[in-house]
Amino acid sequence: MPSIPPDLAAFLVEAKRRIYAGLDDDATMATPLLAGSKQLEHRAPPYAYRDIYFGMAFFVGQETVSRDGRVIWSMSYSGGVHAEIRDRDTFLEIYKFLRQALLGVGVDEPYRGPRLFEQAGMIYRNEIEGALDRFHGVEIIARDSGTPLYELRYGGGLLR
């Protein structure tokens, strides 16, 4: 099994904080590789990070990290707001809260956000199993009253 590059987790945190979590869709590339997708990128040689996803209320995507031009790590994900949520203001409020939670990503678990984040009457929970070389998890957002709002499942690891 390949060993985890010691600086990979720090690069992932930097990339995630600089694109979607920090800039929302303003970080989207004008001409994505796949028509109809959103594509976010960050480079800090020898690494390059790319996140490509489709959809909004429910979305599916994949993050990759290349080192010296070769993809070494990937994470796929799918999820979104619960189907009964159709109000645009609620939708935008949930994703604004999600970006705040994702800014709390740390080098110890650089996949999505922290295990717990609370703000503005909402709670973000992230349940993770595994390590950077092979992991999976689920993140959930609910009102502090317990009303579920959003769920996303993810998994990935080092490629071999």
**Residue 66, pLDDT score:** 97
Mean pLDDT of 83-112: 94
Who contacts 145 (Cβ-Cβ below 8 Å, separation ≥6)?
none
Whole-number Å distance between alpha carbons of 19 and 9: 16
Cα–Cα distances (Å) from 79 to 7, 55, 65, 71, in that order, read 29, 10, 21, 24
pTM exceeding 0.85: yes
DSSP 105: -
Render pLDDT for 105-121 as a digit per residue (tens, 0 to 9).
999 999 999 999 999 89
